Every structure is written in C-alpha cells, then in structure tokens.
C-alpha cells in the first residue's frame, strides 16, 4: 500500500493552533479591561485626600488657643495700687527746722511718709463690676484702680478679702454691664492638661502664655516663713511679677486657678515653676456668697 503525503497549504492553520490564538487574544482583552478598571479605581476611588483638606492636630490646637484668648482677654484687667507707709525716723527735720524757734535740737524723731505703687491682675466675675484677684495684690492699698481691656480706667474699692486663701474681690462702677469669666472646676483638671495664663506681667497688659498643669496639691511657704499655701496648682505657663490675680484657664476658657506666686531664685523671674490657687466648687460658692453679702448691704 502506498501512502501519499499531502503537503500543508501554506495559508491554512491547524485547528488546534487556531483555538490557541483565539484564547490568547481573549486573555489580552480581559487583561486590558481589568487593568483599566484597576486604574480607574486608583484614580477615582482610592485617590488620597489632599493634606490641606484635613487640618492638622497642631492647627486645631492653635485654633483652640486663639479662641480662648479672644474670649477671655476682655474679662482680664490690670490692677494698680497705691499705698502710703508712715514710719518714725530720727534725723534732721529740714522741713520744720527753724533755728530761731523752740524746735531745738534739730535732730529728733518725726514721721516720714512714703508712697509705694504696685501692679497686679484680676478677672471680672460679674456684670456689675466685681473683680476677683489676690488678697496680697490689694493688701494695705489706700488707692486702687482697675484698667479694662478697652484701656478705660476706673477707681475701685475693696469689698472682701480672705488673706488665708489669698483671694480678694474689688468693685468698680462701670458705665454698663461688663463681660464676665466662666469659673471652672480645678478638681477635674489632670496633670499634663493644657493651661493658659493671661495677665499683666511687668505692666504688659493682656499677655497670654501657654503651658501645662505640672502638678496638683503643691504646698509652698512664703519667704517670711509664716504663711503656708496648700493644694496649689503648679504650671509651667510663664507667670511673672504682675501676673498675680490673673486667671489660669483650661482649653474651654474656664478659670481653673488664680495665679499667685512663682518660684524664682534671687528674683530672676519666670523659670517655669508657677503656682495658682485652684478654683473649685467650694471656692466658687465662697466667692458667690461673699458677693451676694456685699450686694445685700449696698
């Protein structure tokens, strides 16, 4: 038997080869389509949000500081006091000496008067002009004046003071209702919480400084060694001479303390250790009762 080999038509394709090429083309089409879908998803669905559309935590915190400063500065005041000190000295009384009179000898004891001025801060706690400050800011003052944030100055009078707590309330008679501070609760404050101090250090009114509550329940003794203050808030917010009586605030703009003292070796000024009298529920009640008692006597 003879076998004839028929040559393949150059233009013809084997059936298997035809199926393989069709499968390859289909896979390429599907791959292209899938790739397009993935690219579209990345472009539209998975595209990251622009950074500027989401405020950073630092920017949000800065906004909180600005808000508190704007809200509270109008209720923080500058307090200036004048005190007359009289003392007996022995010397030549040149103002009353007359060699032809009986005022002889010229060296004798006489009264010398000296005027001392000081400054501090305070915070308005009622629309009718009651201002909370430190007792030591107004102690012994013969003249008290209060300057508001709008730079208007009013004479003030001391209405109540608690030297043991180092708190005092003075009264001014303004031309209309005044903005007032919101008193908070220092008992709820945590160590590490933000703290904002506003006052008049060295006479620079409306100065805002920021720090944290460094500790609670501090006990300090004054330089004289007599007075002891307990349960104080410690803060590293910058407090200097003139800040006394001004508010220490939380991020809600509530007064959580009244700035009282600093630890300052050799009087060098702020070194990051300041103290404030905590404002809590018992203290708020005492302040409100004192003001109500003064009003009832008016």
Burial of 71 (0-12, 13-18, 19+ CB in 10 A): middle
User: Can 136 be counted among the known catalytic residues?
Assistant: yes
Catalytic residue among 118, 200, 214, 244: 244
- In terms of Cα–Cα distance, which of 172, 181, 163 is closest to 260? 163
Catalytic residue among 118, 121, 126, 136: 136
The model carries a pTM of 0.74
- In terms of Cα–Cα distance, which of 113, 114, 111, 115 is closest to 96? 111
- Walk along the chain (298 residues) and give the pLDDT tens digit of each residue: 433 333 333 444 444 444 455 555 655 555 665 565 555 555 555 555 555 555 688 999 999 999 999 999 999 999 999 988 777 776 665 666 566 666 555 566 667 777 888 899 999 999 999 999 999 999 999 999 999 999 999 999 999 999 989 999 999 999 899 999 999 999 999 999 999 999 999 999 999 999 999 999 999 876 655 668 889 999 999 999 999 999 999 999 999 999 999 988 877 788 999 999 999 999 999 999 999 999 988 7
Alpha carbon separation from 225 to 89, 228, 229 (Å, rounded): 27, 8, 11
Catalytic residue among 118, 121, 166, 214: 166
pLDDT of residue 211: 97
Domains assigned to the chain = 182-297 (2.40.10.10)
pLDDT of residue 15: 45
User: Can 102 be counted among the known catalytic residues?
Assistant: no
pLDDT of residue 19: 42
């Amino acid at each position: 038997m003879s076998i004839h080999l028929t040559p393949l038509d150059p233009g013809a394709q084997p059936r298997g080869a035809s199926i393989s090429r069709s499968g390859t083309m289909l896979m390429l089409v599907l791959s292209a389509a899938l790739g397009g879908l993935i690219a579209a998803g990345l472009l539209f669905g998975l595209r990251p949000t622009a950074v500027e559309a989401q405020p950073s935590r630092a920017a949000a915190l800065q906004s909180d500081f600005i808000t508190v400063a704007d809200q509270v500065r109008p209720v923080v005041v500058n307090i200036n006091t004048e005190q007359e000190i009289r003392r007996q000295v022995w010397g030549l009384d040149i103002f009353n000496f007359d060699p032809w009179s009986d005022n002889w000898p010229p060296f004798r004891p006489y009264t010398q008067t000296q005027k001392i001025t000081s400054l501090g801060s305070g915070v308005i706690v009622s629309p009718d002009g009651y201002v909370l400050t430190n007792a030591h800011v107004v102690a012994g003052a013969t003249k008290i004046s209060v300057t508001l944030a709008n730079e208007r100055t009013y004479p003030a009078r001391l209405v109540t003071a608690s030297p043991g707590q180092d708190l005092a309330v003075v009264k001014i008679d303004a031309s209309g209702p005044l903005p007032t501070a919101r008193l908070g609760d220092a008992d709820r404050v945590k160590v590490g919480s933000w703290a904002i101090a506003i006052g008049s250090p060295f006479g620079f009114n409306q100065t805002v400084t920021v720090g944290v509550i460094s500790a609670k329940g501090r006990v300090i003794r004054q330089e004289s060694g007599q007075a002891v203050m307990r349960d104080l808030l410690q803060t590293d917010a910058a407090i200097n001479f003139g800040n006394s009586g001004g508010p220490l605030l939380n991020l809600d703009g509530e007064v959580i303390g009244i700035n009282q003292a600093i630890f300052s070796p050799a009087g060098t000024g702020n070194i990051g250790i300041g103290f404030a009298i905590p404002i809590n529920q018992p203290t708020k009640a005492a302040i409100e009762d004192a003001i109500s008692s003064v009003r009832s006597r008016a």
